[in-house]
Amino acid sequence: MTEATPNGSPTQVSLRELLGGAPDPDFALVLPPGWVRRDVTDAERDHMLDKMRGRLLDAHRPDLYGRMRALVTEAFTQMRSVSTVAMFTAGDDAPDSAYMPASLTATIQHAEPGENLDAYVRGAITANGATALFGDKRFLRVERETTERMDGESMLATTVVYMTPVPGSQRRRALLLTLVILRPTDAPADDLPLVQMKTLFDLCASTLTWLPVDSKAAAPVT
């Protein structure tokens, strides 16, 4: 596995920081082999599309590029709409084994002004069946399954959200890691690849550690 840490590239500045508030700490977590942390920026989107175009040309499938470009562009638009702070994917030079029908993103959940997230957490437990990740109450895990349309086809989507409070926020902000795994509609819930991927990312989420604020520019550790 690879430990993902901030790489020192430009990142979005939160409203809190613009107003003079102390920035939240960043975080690191161990990722599947070949996976990397990416910023949600136009530059990263264009870089991913350029690499994708090269792979499709090498595979003699340039016809797929238009479809994939639309999907990637839409994904970045959706991530920005929910203030995604990072995404995690297979790296540019990752082996074929690193490519999975899964995505992992990180967002910050904010409480209403003057409130904390206690009611949000209670709702996640009572209404959505959230549980402590591996019994560790610092992390809540909630899972749901839906049917989604992707590129004209129906797919089953398993979504797992891992939630942990941001240190120093008095439970007013929480980090949400959102995992989405896609599979064919005829694949059962106990499909072995699905079970293995959920276990893999459960383990990855459990490794999350918070970094001192002054270490945001630390070099990646592999």
Q: What is the sign, positive or negative, of the torsion defined by CA atoms of 189, 191, 196, 201?
A: negative
Q: pLDDT (tens digit, 9 = 90+) per residue, 17-32? A: 444 457 889 999 999 9
Q: In angstroms, rounded to a whole number, what is the distance separating the alpha carbons of residues 6 and 33?
A: 17
Token digits of residue 104? 């992992």
Q: pLDDT (tens digit, 9 = 90+) per residue, 87-128? A: 999 998 899 899 999 999 999 999 999 999 999 999 999 999
The pLDDT of residue 54:
86
What mean pLDDT is predicted for residues 135-163?
A: 93
E-assigned strand segments in the chain: 2-4, 27-31, 35-38, 84-90, 102-110, 131-133, 136-150, 153-165, 173-183, 209-210
Q: The pTM is what?
A: 0.82
Token digits of residue 30? 């161990």
Return the C-alpha torsion angle 127, 128, 134, 139, nearest 10: -80
Identify the band that residue 78 occupies on the pLDDT scale cut at 50, 70 and 90.
Answer: confident
